[in-house]
Structure 1
Amino acid sequence: MDKIALDGMDRKWVVAAGAALAIVVAGAFSTLAGLLVGPLHQELGWSRSAIGLGSLVNMIVYGATAPLAAALMDRIGMRRVAAGALVLVGGGALLTTTMTAPWQFTLYWGVLVGLGTGATATTFAATVTERWFVARRGLVAGLLTAASVVGQFVFLPLLSWVIDGWGWQAAAYGLALAAAGALPLVYAAVRDPGAEAGAGATAGVTGGPVLVRAKGTVNFLRTGPFWLLAVTFAVCGASTNGVMWTHFAPAAHDHGMPVTVAASLLSLIGIFNVAGTVASGWATDRFDPRRLLGAYYALRGASLLALPLLLSATVDPPLVAFTVAFGLLDVATVPPTIALCRAHYGTGAPVVFGWVSAAHQVGAGSVAYVGGAVRDVFGSYDLVWVGAGVLCAGAALLALVIDRGQRQQVAPERQLTA
C-alpha cells in the first residue's frame, strides 16, 4: 500500500474518531434531563408535567434539527455544523443554571440543547458513514451509534453522583466544560471528503446530490417505506428516550431505589448498548434488516411489559437481567433502519434518515410528556411501561411489512482513488 492510500485510510478513521467525540459529548446532554426531574421538582416546586414539557420540546427540536443539519452539512460542511452544535449544547447548559421559571427550562434545555444534540444525532453518524466509507458501512454506523450510547449512559453515574453531592447546577457546569474541551479537537479532526484527497471516501455523496434530495423531501413523504420506517422509529424513540432515559430513574426512586443506583443501572444499559449496537451493525451487513427490526421491537416490548414487576428498592438478578437485555436491544434498531433508508433512497439516505429520526424524537418527546402527566395523575409509571410495550409489539409487525428495497451499489468510477 502506498503512502497516499495509507494517508487516506488514516484520514477517514480520524474523521470518524472526531465525529465520535462530538457524538459522545452531545449524547451526555440527552439523558441528563431524566436526572433533573427530581431536583427541579423538589428545589423549584415545578410539576413533573411542566418539566416533561421541556423534555418534549427538547426531543421535538432534536428531531426537527436532524434532517436540516444533514442538509446544512451539505452546504457548509460537517466540521462547522459539529462545532456549532457543541457551542449550542454548552451555552444551553450554562443558561439552565440561571433558571427561575419552567419556560426557561423549555427555552434553554428544550430549544438550545435540542438544536445542538439534534445536529450531532444519528443523522450525523449516517452522513459520516455515507461520505467516508464504502465497505463495512453497517459496522461503522453501529460504532458511531455506540458513541452516542456511551455519552448517554456511561456518564450517568458520574452526573448522578455530582448532583447528589453538589447539586444539579454543578452537573450542568461540568457538561458545558466538556463541550468546550471537545470543541477544538472536533474542529481539527472532522473533514468532508472534498476537503482532502483521501482515499476510501465516496465521491458524489457530498455537495449537490444530497442537497437536491433534501429539496425533494416531499417525494419521500409520498412513499410507503418512509412512513413505515418513520412510524417504527417513532416507537423506538417512545420506548427508549421517552420512557427509559426520562422516567426510569424517577420511577425506580418511587419504589425506594436511590437515584444514584438507578443511574448506575442506566449506565449498565449503556454498556450493553455498545455491544448490541455494534453486533447489530455486523448483522445488518449480513441479514435482512426488516427481520432484525421485527425481532428487536418484539423483544424490547416484552422486556418493558415485565419491568413493572421487577422494580423494587434493591437490585436483584431479574432486574439485572432486564438491564442486560434492554441494553442489547436499545439502540440496535439504528443500523438496520439506516440500511433500509439506503436501500430505498440511495445517496439521499442521510437526509431521509434525518426525517425518520425526527419521527423518533416526536415519539420520544410525546411519551416523555405523557409519562410525567400519567405519574402526576395516577401516582405511578406502570401504565407508561405497559403502553410502551404494546407500541413495540405493533412496531415489530410493521417492520416485517417494509419493502426490502434495492441496495445501492457505489460504482467504481464514483469512488475516490489515490
Structure 2
Amino acid sequence: MNQVPQTETARKLPRMHYGWVVVAVTFLTLLVSAGVRSMPSIFMLSFEKDFGWSRGGISSVVSIGIFLYGLVGPFSASFLERFGVRRVMLFSIALLAAGLAVTPLMNALWQFEILWGVITGIATGFMANVLGVTVSNKWFAQRRGLVVGILTASAATGQLLFLPLLARITVESGWKSAVYTAVAVLVGLLLIVAVFMRNHPSDVGVAPYGSTEVVQPTPFRGNLFLAPLLALRSALRSKSFWLLAGTFFFCGYSTNGLIGTHLIPACGDFGITEVTAASLLALMGLFDLFGTTLSGWLSDRFDSRWLLAWYYGLRGLSLLFLPYALSAGPTELLLFSVFYGLDWIATVPPTVKLATQEFGKERSGMIFGWVVVAHQLGASTAAYGAGALRDWLGTYSTAFVSAGFVCLFAAVISTRIGRKKAASLS
C-alpha cells in the first residue's frame, strides 16, 4: 500500500498563525501589568495603619502613577517602532520588577511616590493599550477589532487573577509578601517574553493574519520624542480628536481612577473586608473579559459612535446606583459588580476603531496614545479627587454620583465623533 509522505501530510494540516502566539504573550504581559498596577488599592488601608499616611496622600501617589502611565503612551508608540516590541517589553518588565523589589524597603511617602508614582507609572505605561494597538496593526490585516478587544480585556483579567490572591496574602502575611509574590510573577513573565515574543510577522516568515503578502517592517524615521509631539500637533486640528480625548477623559475618571483605586477602601467604610472587596473587583474583571471581547467583535460590525453612547450611558446609570448598593447589602453590590463589570473598559475597541478611521493606521498608535493621556488625566483626577473628598466629607458618595453624571454627558457627545471629515493631518 502506498503511503503519503510525512512532509506532504504535514503540509495539509492547518497551522496556527504565529500572530495568535504573539497575542497570547501580549495578553499575559498586559494582564500581569494590570494586576501590579492595581495593587495600591489593596495596600491603601495597610499603609494608613503601618505608616500613618492619609488616604489623600496615598491617593496622590496613585494619581501620579496613573498620569505617567498615560503620558508614556504616545512615546511608547515611537519606542515600539524604533526598538521593536520584544525589546521594549523586556525593558519595561525588568524596570517594573526592580521597582517592586525595592518597595518593602521604603519608610516615607516620597519614596512611595518615586517607586509607585514614577517608576511603576513609566514601566506600566510602556505596557499599556498602545502596545495592544501596535500588535494588532502589525500582525493582523483582519480581526483587528477582536484582537484589540481581547488585549484590552487583559486588564480586567489581571484584576480577576491577582486582586483576590494578593488581598489574601496581604491580610494573612502582610503587604510585603504580596509585593514579593508579584516580583516572582514578573520574573517568570520576563522569561516567557524573551522566548516567545516576536516583533513583526516577517521575523517568522509569515504574512499578517488575513493577508497573503509577507511584508518587511517600515523603518522608523524621525525623533523618538519629537514624532509623538508632531502627531499631537496634527491631531489637535481635528474636532474628532478633541471628542475622542474628551470622552476618554470621562472614561478614565469613572474606571481605574475611581472604582479601580477606591472601591476597596469605600467597601471598608461599610465594614466589608479587603478580600471580599477585591473579590468584587475580580468579579467585575470576569464580566469585563466577556464584555470587552464582545465589544471588539461588535466594533468590527457596527457604528462605534453608537456603541460608545450605549457604553457610557449604561456605565453612568450603574455609578449612580453604587452609593445605594454599598449601603443596601450584598445582593445590590453584586448586581452593581456584574452590570458595571460588563462595561468596565468596553469603550476601548470602538475608540481605537474611530481613531484608526479618522487618522489612518500609520498614525493611529501615537494619536490613540494621546487619547489615552486624556484617559489617564481623568483617572488621575478621580484617584486624587475621590480620596480628598473622602477625607473632607467622610464618604465617597459625591465622587461616585459625579462620575455617573459625567458618563451620561460622555454618552451624548460620543454621537458627535466623526460626523465631519477630520482636519487634514498633512
For 1:416, the equivalent position in structure 2 comes to none
Contact 1:131 1:206 in 2 (8 A): no
The partner residue of 2:409 within 394, 405, 413 is: 394
Supply the distance in 2 between the matched residues of 1:143 and 1:86 (Cα, whole angstroms).
21
Contact 2:145 2:296 in 1 (8 A): yes
For 1:196, the equivalent position in structure 2 comes to 204
**Greater shift in the superposed pair: 357-366 or 265-274:** 357-366
Supply the distance in 2 between the matched residues of 1:340 and 1:156 (Cα, whole angstroms).
32
How far 1:184 moved relative to its partner? 1.3
Please list every run of 5 or more consecutive structure 2 residues that lacks an aligned counterpart in the other structure. Answer: 1-7
Supply the distance in 1 between the matched residues of 2:178 and 2:241 (Cα, whole angstroms).
38
Please list every run of 5 or more consecutive structure 1 residues that lacks an aligned counterpart in the other structure. Answer: 408-418
For 1:110, the equivalent position in structure 2 comes to 117
Supply the distance in 2 between the matched residues of 1:241 and 1:106 (Cα, whole angstroms).
18
How far 1:228 moved relative to its partner? 0.8
Contact 1:296 1:329 in 2 (8 A): yes
| SS in structure 2 at match of 1:294 | helix
TM-score, length-scaled by structure 2: 0.91
**Greater shift in the superposed pair: 185-194 or 31-40:** 185-194
Alignment of 1:90 with 2:97, yes or no, is yes
For 1:304, the equivalent position in structure 2 comes to 319
Count of aligned residue pairs for this structure pair: 406
For 1:411, the equivalent position in structure 2 comes to none
Superposed CA deviations along residues 48-70 of structure 1, whole A, max 9, x for unmatched, are: 11101110110011001111111
Supply the distance in 1 between the matched residues of 2:11 and 2:112 (Cα, whole angstroms).
50
- RMSD of aligned C-alpha atoms? 2.3
Residues 15-414 of structure 1 aligned to structure 2 (within 5 Å): 15-193=22-200, 194-200=202-208, 203=215, 206-208=218-220, 214=228, 215-312=230-327, 314-316=329-331, 318-347=332-361, 348-403=363-418
Structure with greater Cα Rg: 2
Residue identity matched to 1:195: D
Supply the distance in 1 between the matched residues of 2:264 and 2:371 (Cα, whole angstroms).
27
How far 1:406 moved relative to its partner? 8.1
Supply the distance in 1 between the matched residues of 2:142 and 2:167 (Cα, whole angstroms).
40
Supply the distance in 2 between the matched residues of 1:160 and 1:186 (Cα, whole angstroms).
27
How far 1:200 moved relative to its partner? 2.1
| SS in structure 1 at match of 2:342 | helix
TM-score, length-scaled by structure 1: 0.92
Supply the distance in 2 between the matched residues of 1:30 and 1:288 (Cα, whole angstroms).
32
Q: 1:172 to 1:405 in 2, by over 3 A?
A: farther
Residue identity matched to 2:219: G
How far 1:37 moved relative to its partner? 0.9
Q: 1:5 to 1:72 in 2, by over 3 A?
A: farther
| SS in structure 2 at match of 1:192 | coil
Contact 1:73 1:81 in 2 (8 A): yes
How far 1:237 moved relative to its partner? 0.7
Contact 1:58 1:114 in 2 (8 A): yes
Contact 1:17 1:189 in 2 (8 A): no
Supply the distance in 1 between the matched residues of 2:399 and 2:241 (Cα, whole angstroms).
27
Superposed CA deviations along residues 166-225 of structure 1, whole A, max 9, x for unmatched, are: 111111111111111110111222212243321225747743379796343310122111
How far 1:148 moved relative to its partner? 2.0
Superposed CA deviations along residues 362-418 of structure 1, whole A, max 9, x for unmatched, are: 1101110011101111111010101111111111111111015789xxxxxxxxxxx
Supply the distance in 2 between the matched residues of 1:375 and 1:300 (Cα, whole angstroms).
22
Q: 1:379 to 1:110 in 2, by over 3 A?
A: same
How far 1:259 moved relative to its partner? 1.3
How far 1:96 moved relative to its partner? 1.5
Contact 1:62 1:115 in 2 (8 A): yes
For 1:413, the equivalent position in structure 2 comes to none
Superposed CA deviations along residues 118-138 of structure 1, whole A, max 9, x for unmatched, are: 111111000000110011111
How far 1:152 moved relative to its partner? 2.8
Contact 1:8 1:200 in 2 (8 A): no
Supply the distance in 2 between the matched residues of 1:118 and 1:188 (Cα, whole angstroms).
22
